[in-house]
Amino acid sequence: MQIIKRNVELRVDDSLMRVYVAAPKTAGLYPGIVFYSDIYQLGGPIIRLANYLAGYGYVVAAPEIFHRIEPIGLVIEPDDLGRMRGNDDARRTAIADYDADCRAVIEFLKAESSVSPGQIGTLGFCIGGHLAFRAAFMSEIKASVCCYPTGIPSGKLGQGVADTIHRVSEIKGEMLIVFGTLDPHIPDSDRQTIITALSNANVPHKVLFYEAEHTFMRDDGYRYDSAATTSAWAEIKAFLERIFAN
């Protein structure tokens, strides 16, 4: 399916938040997806992932998660300095601000004429996986895909300690969690804590494990695993299709 691409601006707490939007070119109604990047914001690898999903019939809206700190359109380079910069931006962003941004993107999707009423989900990577997990607390979210989400058991997300792991019972939709078993940023103890919390809260969920490293779905780094990525995307597409078929 061909797609169209554009950038829109949303004002959140008097900060201009750029949102990259990719959507099917063919007129119609499609589910909307709040799409979260990793700490490097909207660089080529993340844009390609957003475009890929849009091509399967979704209106994908990807915000710049550090818009209160960084200039509009800034892409953080995925190197040692970029990692320090991105992690510092994350540390300096209030958790309530992340939540306000999520609400703004959801409201944007609800107002889009091409988004099917009542059909909104979320997908994210790394810190974006954590943000997609938190997005599931919003009543509109029917499906959440969290790819190697960091910091959920520890509460590491932004300023202070995020209460994410303690709010799992608020989730009303379904969850798909993607882990790499070789990922040192999400050790097995953290993975099991997340799974146990979802099970105890009776949240419908599926967990995928790949013998892969952190950020294995980014196609620009040495940790990229094309086979694991292809398999994960097949599961993600099936998951979203099932939920939004209802």
Name the residues annotated as catalytic.
126, 183, 214
Question: What would the two tokens of residue 38 be?
Answer: 């990793």
Q: Which residues pair with 21 in a beta bridge?
A: 6, 61
Q: Where are the beta strands (DSSP E) in the chain?
A: 3-12, 15-24, 30-36, 59-63, 115-125, 141-147, 174-180, 205-210
Q: Where are the beta strands (DSSP E) in 150-229?
A: 174-180, 205-210
Count the helices and strands in the chain (H runs, E runs).
6, 8
Q: In what order do the strands lie in the sheet with 141-147?
A: 3-12, 15-24, 59-63, 30-36, 115-125, 141-147, 174-180, 205-210
